[in-house]
Amino acid sequence: MRVRTWIEGWPVVRQLTDGDPLGRGAAAKSKHSAHLDPRTASADKVVKSVCPFCAVGCGQNVYVKNDKVVHIEGDPDSPVSRGRLCPRGSSTLQLTTGSSREYRVLYRRPHGTDWEQLPLDQAMNMIADRMIKTRREGWQWEVDGKRTRRTTGFASLGGATLDNEENYLIKKLFTALGAVQIENQARI
């Protein structure tokens, strides 16, 4: 039975039986080609998204399979982009899943010459401690006799690549801590 299947499947035989005597088409089709499964079709779900590069705001469809992003391409429904993406937008899969991404917290101690690893929670605690300390050191109740109620001990830069919700929390938290030097790319 197997031999027969094998022989019938042999493209040379198929050349004779399948109407492709020159062996350039149907007869030469391989198993792989017969069972192509594009990941846009086989994805478990398609998640609606927005391109993270520039501010045009092109729509993206994010294809997910087995809890992994397997492909990202333009969302044809978008009135902004009509499914199209530029080279940067087209590289979003590589941006989000590529090998250049770091997934570990890295720490460089003062005067250190290389990175060390640090557990995330420990890093968060260390950062919180430093913020409290620096904030206090740079605290100014008054400047030139006028109430300022602020700290100039720490600053932040960034936000143009972040979500509105993230910017909101950053501004809210840092302002409540008395920081004024909160800036982002919009100024640059």
The half-sphere exposure of 175 on its side-chain side, counting CA atoms within 13 A, is 7
Smallest distance, other proteins to C-beta of residue 170, A: 5
Residue type, 142: E
Would you state the structure tokens that stand for residue 149, as one six-digit string? 């109620």
What binding mask, one character per residue, do residues 144-173 give for other proteins by CB under 8 A, x or -? Answer: xxxxxxxxxxxxxxxxxxxxxxxxxxxxxx
3-state secondary structure of 98: coil
Residue 6 engages other proteins in binding (rule: CB under 8 A):
no
Residue 2 engages other proteins in binding (rule: CB under 8 A):
no
Q: Please, are residues 83 and 74 in contact by the beta-carbon 8 Å criterion?
A: yes
3-state secondary structure of 76: coil
What binding mask, one character per residue, do residues 91-130 give for other proteins by CB under 8 A, x or -? Answer: x-xxxx-x-xxxxxxxxxxxxxxxx--x-x--xxxxxxxx
Residue 176 engages other proteins in binding (rule: CB under 8 A):
yes
Smallest distance, other proteins to C-beta of residue 183, A: 4
Smallest distance, other proteins to C-beta of residue 93, A: 5
Would you state the structure tokens that stand for residue 93, as one six-digit string? 């899969």
